[in-house]
Amino acid sequence: MFRRALPVLALTLGLVGACSASPDTSGPLPRGTDLTGSAAEALKNLNGTRFRLGLSGMIPGLPIRSIEGTANRDGTGSGRADVQESAEKFSDVTYTVAGRVATVSGKNAPPRTLAVPAQYDPATLLGPDKGLRRALLAATGVTTEAKEPLNKVDAYRLTGKLAGPVISQLIPGITADVDVKFWVREAEPHDLMRIWMQVPPYKPSEGAVMLELSLSP
């Protein structure tokens, strides 16, 4: 039980640490749909980004606990990941991506090449019609919760929902509706800075899985 709680604690502490100042809920606050629309428009001009993805548990078809690096619209990228090799074994690997092919290297293993699924292709994630833009534009019930600093940058925190058919195109292992939060830069062009999702349990005995994606220049 303690081992299962560690990733949740780490993810929660990371979120709290990045937003340590008290949120400002005083109004008037911009409409949530205006901000997600502006953030989606800003992504049209994003050719590359640094990112970090962390999960508090396992999602079918996504055998990682964390991954960070760079992603570019031309389909290239590189970084490191904590990858599940078996039920009890995780390995720290480095990777490069080019042309839908990833080259993965581990500490005690020779490099190997793997096909990159279309939805995880950097060109798709940052593309004009799918990936992150689709998530922003397809979110429902979006409201602006507060204004708060994120990594010393003033941002708005939004809350909403993503339907299962929408999120499954981004992460195939998720088929249920999910609660989602977006952090969008306060200053124009309202860049997307973070996405947080809570994925419902797959089994009654399991807890929800939290997923957090951070973006930076």
What is the pLDDT tens value at each position of the chain, 217 positions in all? 333 333 433 444 344 445 545 777 777 899 999 999 999 999 998 999 999 999 998 888 788 889 999 999 999 999 999 987 766 666 899 999 998 899 999 887 789 998 988 878 898 888 888 889 999 999 999 999 999 999 899 999 999 999 999 998 888 888 899 999 999 999 999 999 999 999 998 888 888 999 999 999 8
Q: Distance from CA of residue 206 to its chain's centroid?
A: 21
Interatomic CA distance for residues 117 and 54, integer angstroms: 19
Per-domain residue ranges for the chain? 2-61+118-216
Interatomic CA distance for residues 54 and 2, integer angstroms: 18
pTM value?
Answer: 0.84
Tokens at 211, concatenated: 């997923």
The three-class DSSP label of residue 158 is strand
115: closest CA among 95, 131, 93, 132?
Answer: 95
* Backbone torsion region of residue 152, taken as left when φ is above 0, otherwise alpha when ψ lies between -120 and 50, otherwise beta: left
Which residues are bridge partners to 215 per DSSP? 51
199: closest CA among 183, 216, 213?
Answer: 213
Correct CATH for 2-61+118-216 of 2.60.120.10, 2.60.40.10, 2.50.20.20, 3.40.50.410: 2.50.20.20
Interatomic CA distance for residues 196 and 199, integer angstroms: 10
